[in-house]
Structure 1
Amino acid sequence: MLSKILLLSFILLAIFLRFYDLNWDQNYSLHPDEENIANAARRIQFFSQLNPKFFAYGGIYIYLEKGVSDILSTTLGPDFKPNGIFSYIVIGRFFSALFSSLSAIVIFLLAKELYNKKVALITLFLYTLNTASIQAAHFAVTESLLILLLITIVLISIKLYKNPIIFNYILAGLVYGLSLATKTSALLFITPVVAVHLLFLIKQPKLFLTLNIRLIIFFIASICVFMILSPYSVLDWPNFYKSMQFESSVVTGAKKVTYTLQFAYSLPYIFQIKNLFWQMGPIVILSMIGFIKLLFDCRHQRDFKLLLFLSFPLIYFLVIGPWYAKFIRYQLPLIPFLVVSASILLYQIQNRFFKIGLILSLVSFIVTLLWSFSFLNIYTREDSRISASNWIYQNIPKGNSIMIEYHDSTLPLKIEPFKPDVYNLISIDSFNSNDSNYYAEKLTSADYIVLSSRRIYKTIENLSQKYPLANQYYVPNKYYRLLFTNQLGYQKVSEFNSYPSLLGFIINDDSSEETFQVFDHPNIQVFKNLQQLGKNDYAELLKNPMY
């Protein structure tokens, strides 16, 4: 009875945490990937125009947003406002939260299948409170759906190992095809299916032909689902292929773009491991210890179910580790496996050393709970970009010149009845100019400087410390350094942030991978020109002594 109460309580908590304030940015569309998907959805007209003309994501999520939007429009009539609360983005966030909530249930079933109900309950509790999955649930992007499909494939693979019937192969194929239709980066989700198939071939070589026919059926099911749910990946193959080439070149670093410069000279694997701390909190230590222990257990006990479970995270981490682009969202598929690993370790310790295990479990639960709610508090407060915009309109006179950064969010936002065009916005491109005169001219013309996140100046600071890039970014780095130390005649007059916090304790996550912070709680700084230095003064202050 107690286990049923706990199960229901944890599921309800998971739903609450993921659905809490999905309109956290008040419909300002502050996440660029959300806006890209929403714009693709707006291009769809059932059934005359089905080409999203956007292939960074699969078709399924785009069609889902558009389909639900059309249903709401038909049902609610004039009461439905596409750009209001029922916007494409909020619809996408609803489904993201729904898929994340369902993931909590499926991961419970996976842990139960892998170990027992006690481990499953611990897993459910820890995953319910997982910071990364809660954050992903608040974004109208595909990560939550991908996680749901991934752990479903792993669960089906374990059942397939127990019963290799055609139905299980077809079911696995359908889910895998849906994964590919969600995002082509799901290619590696096939790992547990291939692993179980190889195990069958080794154990039952006489069934070679039968088993391979079933694998072919798996691929047929996958291809059919993919082509039905993301048809223009095939029908518009040239543009799809071009998009995949671009995305691949960005990931590998063959093509350098401004939003990946933060990863220059970052250490493979180490960078990802460090950022797992932000995604999981201190329990990541237990997770990694537990995962390593499971590897040894798998080897010594010859537990093939465990082998299937471990196959994906091992292969996946080995593949993404050397990538140039190390966005924190790439690590999300590892989270369920690490949570299960921590849960099994806690259970095993408690079984062997009851008091120590009980204390460790309680500490882990409390720390994870506090970590989770400190990050949830981000969504209880007004977005820092909205707060900063309101401050700007109230404190900076109309007609003043505001210097903003070309490669970051433009502030102030349009907040009725105010519009940004009441100011003279001066854009500065710090990534592509190392000329002191360029900055001198901008600084002379500006009355205020607005830094809408750490995205630019932190990346510049990092690049300036790396040989041979130090000289290339000398002037922009010096510009930021002098700005922050009040040596340019500008003084900070306001700052807006929304760091994770609870009971007065603040977690400064400035050292996390930038997209973990800048999408939903960026740190914004406003500087005022108090000394009005001349162009020559600025040029002298910023000049590179090597020239």
Structure 2
Amino acid sequence: MLTYALGRRLFTVGVGLTAAAAVALATLHVQLAHFYTVDPLLTALVMAALLAMTAVAERGSLRASALAGLATGLAIGTKFSAAILFLPLVLAHAIDGFDARQQARLHTLWRGPGRVRAALDLWNGLDAQRGWRWLLPALGGALLAFAMTNPYALADLYQFATSIGAQSAMVQGRWVLPYTEQYRGTWPYVYFISQQVRWFLGPTLGLLAWSGLAWLGWRIVRGASHLVQPHEWPAVAWGVPYFALTGAFFVKFPRYLQPLTPLLFIWGTALLFRATRRWLRARQVLLVLIFGPAVFYALAFTSIYDQRHPWIQASEWIYRHVPPGSTIIVELWDHPLPVSMDVDGTWHRGREYKQVEVDPYDAETPLKEFWLVQHLTAADWVVLSSPRGWEVLRHLGREYSLMPTYYKGLLTGTAGFEVAGLWRVEPRLGPISLSHNPFLSALLPTPAAWDAAAPAPWTLDLGFADESFNVYDHPMPIILRKTQSLGFEALRVRLWPELETGTIGVESEK
């Protein structure tokens, strides 16, 4: 509804309706609606704030300013990255204080070497009484809303600032955690866009969205006063800085861009409508070509929620096939299996098994090499709950030179284990499933169990998927069974035949 309202206000009813439909079908929004992250709430509050700011820019009023301030404060209280909203909040009130001639000159701020002079001219021509009359109530509303939702932030500013600083260090790559290792070597902006187009929006909606941003950039660079209307600038002042800042992050969780996607759809739809304003039949054809695959993808993706979670399926298999008392290797930073569940009327908690933990992200030393071999020697089964470890560590070079060989040995049988079970829950509709083969991205041979577990006769591979797309609601667990008992030294030589005991760990410490 908020996307429709803002699209209608910025452009037309048709743009608003089409952009709202795109948001409803976007896989990113569908997935995040199924489990709690702050981003869906943040997105709604950002859109509410921009809608109110647009009203301020068009015709200032106490009601619009108060709503803009309250929504801004609630958004910042939800996630601190929304503090960028202060920029369009101030700009909206400034636009209200400009006359029509000055509003038409806003585009000069982005053109040529005269930006500073243009800004000074606009500032000098601002009707301060009109422009700032409702800004103070807006700022007061923002502070009130933030204080009501984050009282402890004001009660302990030091702890709040420390927490914000820690998150800032994480997204900038100064504090790397196991679940952010996947972003090493990824390109700013490009990674976000490619993941949106492949998986999180889908190819057609992804192209619609990002063409909208390109069109906005063209309009700003061209700089003609009629290309960007004054009431559009609050949305621009949110969207452009937010993408410029977030797209440059080291950590590139695709959900970080959810607050931007409604605007991208609005701009992309406006471009489509403007380009086809003289050819209505062409517009209809394009809408079918865009939304037909989008509907297919949305229905296919929601099918994963009609199936049992892969960890539930794998856990039931373990309780039915793994003898009590068996030793099972599980991994830290992933969910240990089996989970507690009922099987045939009996409640199991996994306590009938001895679980041994391996930390894939532990420093690679001779001691780690020793324990990897020791655990494999003693274990009867190995559980890889998801590709979180084995798909990522392959690409991290010498810092993680033990683990890729460890995983390769497991999955190829060199370590004396075979794949006993593999579970694939993927978006599917009818005879077609949408897939990502993690073995290819991990540079590992694809086991026969992968094809045997295919959920549909035909598979469409959309390429590499961000870990967060799969790991929460449809991970791919693998269970390996020991088929050959090897002594400690024999197993070590099989895994690292070219190395003396501990050599690789010594090198990695240098």
Quickly name the TM-score band, shorter chain normalised. Answer: 0.7 to 0.9
Whichever residue aligns with residue 414 of structure 1, its letter is S
* 2:92 and 2:233 in contact (8 A); partners too: no
Q: 1:143 aligns with which of 10, 35, 39?
A: 39
Say which SS state the counterpart of residue 497 (structure 1) adopts. Answer: coil
Say which SS state the counterpart of residue 139 (structure 2) adopts. Answer: helix
- Equivalent in the alignment of 2:387: 454
Whichever residue aligns with residue 254 of structure 1, its letter is R
| Residue 358 (structure 1) shift | 2.0
| Residue 310 (structure 1) shift | 2.5
- Equivalent in the alignment of 2:51: 155
Whichever residue aligns with residue 220 of structure 1, its letter is G
| Residue 183 (structure 1) shift | 2.0
* 2:6 and 2:16 in contact (8 A); partners too: yes
Q: 1:426 aligns with which of 353, 356, 359?
A: 356
In the alignment, the residues of structure 2 paired with residue 358 and residue 180 of structure 1 have an alpha-carbon distance, to the nearest angstrom, of 39
| Residue 210 (structure 1) shift | 5.1
| Residue 187 (structure 1) shift | 1.2
| Residue 400 (structure 1) shift | 0.4
* 1:374 and 1:501 in contact (8 A); partners too: yes
- Equivalent in the alignment of 1:445: 378
Rg larger in 1 or in 2?
2
Does residue 410 of structure 1 match 2:336? Answer: yes
- Equivalent in the alignment of 1:392: 318
Cα RMSD (Å): 1.9
* 1:405 and 1:428 in contact (8 A); partners too: yes
| Residue 216 (structure 1) shift | 2.8
Say which SS state the counterpart of residue 404 (structure 1) adopts. Answer: strand
Whichever residue aligns with residue 358 of structure 2, its letter is I
In the alignment, the residues of structure 2 paired with residue 182 and residue 307 of structure 1 have an alpha-carbon distance, to the nearest angstrom, of 24
Q: Kindly indicate which of the two structures has a greater share of residues assigned to helix.
A: 1
Q: What TM-score does the superposition give when structure 1 sets the normalisation length? A: 0.76
In the alignment, the residues of structure 1 paired with residue 90 and residue 159 of structure 2 have an alpha-carbon distance, to the nearest angstrom, of 30
1:318-372 deviation digits (Å, cap 9, x = unpaired):
0012211111111111211122123223323432333333222111111100011
- Equivalent in the alignment of 2:190: 270
Whichever residue aligns with residue 403 of structure 1, its letter is I
In the alignment, the residues of structure 1 paired with residue 195 and residue 91 of structure 2 have an alpha-carbon distance, to the nearest angstrom, of 29
Please give the residue correspondences for 1:172-191 in structure 2 after superposition, counting only pairs within 5 Å: 172-191=68-87
- Equivalent in the alignment of 2:208: 286
In the alignment, the residues of structure 2 paired with residue 117 and residue 428 of structure 1 have an alpha-carbon distance, to the nearest angstrom, of 56
Moved more, 258-267 or 189-198: 189-198
- Equivalent in the alignment of 1:170: 66
Does residue 214 of structure 1 match 2:134? Answer: yes
| Residue 144 (structure 1) shift | 1.4
- Equivalent in the alignment of 1:259: 179
1:373-431 deviation digits (Å, cap 9, x = unpaired):
11111111111111111111111111101111011111111113011111000100111
Does residue 500 of structure 1 match 2:427? Answer: yes
Identity of aligned residues (%): 25
- Equivalent in the alignment of 1:224: 144
In the alignment, the residues of structure 1 paired with residue 32 and residue 86 of structure 2 have an alpha-carbon distance, to the nearest angstrom, of 23
- Equivalent in the alignment of 1:111: 7
| Residue 213 (structure 1) shift | 5.0
- Equivalent in the alignment of 1:333: 259
Whichever residue aligns with residue 312 of structure 2, its letter is I
In the alignment, the residues of structure 2 paired with residue 224 and residue 282 of structure 1 have an alpha-carbon distance, to the nearest angstrom, of 42
Moved more, 241-250 or 154-163: 241-250
In the alignment, the residues of structure 1 paired with residue 95 and residue 58 of structure 2 have an alpha-carbon distance, to the nearest angstrom, of 11
- Equivalent in the alignment of 1:533: 486
- Equivalent in the alignment of 1:127: 23
1:490-511 deviation digits (Å, cap 9, x = unpaired):
1001111211111121111452
Whichever residue aligns with residue 188 of structure 2, its letter is P
- Equivalent in the alignment of 1:76: none
In the alignment, the residues of structure 2 paired with residue 292 and residue 497 of structure 1 have an alpha-carbon distance, to the nearest angstrom, of 37
* 1:493 and 1:528 in contact (8 A); partners too: yes
* Aligned length, in residue pairs: 437
Say which SS state the counterpart of residue 422 (structure 1) adopts. Answer: coil
Give 5+ residue unaligned stretches, structure 1.
Answer: 1-104, 464-469
| Residue 206 (structure 1) shift | 4.7
In the alignment, the residues of structure 2 paired with residue 136 and residue 256 of structure 1 have an alpha-carbon distance, to the nearest angstrom, of 24
Whichever residue aligns with residue 199 of structure 1, its letter is I
* 1:433 and 1:476 in contact (8 A); partners too: no
Whichever residue aligns with residue 322 of structure 1, its letter is A
In the alignment, the residues of structure 2 paired with residue 270 and residue 521 of structure 1 have an alpha-carbon distance, to the nearest angstrom, of 25
Moved more, 389-398 or 284-293: 284-293
| Residue 274 (structure 1) shift | 1.0
Say which SS state the counterpart of residue 506 (structure 1) adopts. Answer: strand
* 2:415 and 2:495 in contact (8 A); partners too: no
Moved more, 136-145 or 371-380: 136-145
Give 5+ residue unaligned stretches, structure 2.
Answer: 103-121, 439-463, 505-510
Cα 1:373–1:225, aligned 2, differ >3 Å: closer, same or farther?
same
| Residue 241 (structure 1) shift | 2.5
In the alignment, the residues of structure 1 paired with residue 405 and residue 129 of structure 2 have an alpha-carbon distance, to the nearest angstrom, of 67
- Equivalent in the alignment of 2:107: none
- Equivalent in the alignment of 2:409: 482
In the alignment, the residues of structure 2 paired with residue 362 and residue 206 of structure 1 have an alpha-carbon distance, to the nearest angstrom, of 46
* 1:439 and 1:539 in contact (8 A); partners too: no
Does residue 519 of structure 1 match 2:472? Answer: yes
In the alignment, the residues of structure 2 paired with residue 383 and residue 370 of structure 1 have an alpha-carbon distance, to the nearest angstrom, of 22
* 1:153 and 1:192 in contact (8 A); partners too: no
| Residue 433 (structure 1) shift | 4.1
In the alignment, the residues of structure 2 paired with residue 294 and residue 239 of structure 1 have an alpha-carbon distance, to the nearest angstrom, of 39
Q: What TM-score does the superposition give when structure 2 sets the normalisation length? A: 0.82
* 2:212 and 2:265 in contact (8 A); partners too: no
Moved more, 258-267 or 200-209: 200-209
- Equivalent in the alignment of 2:441: none
Q: 1:373 aligns with which of 295, 299, 308?
A: 299
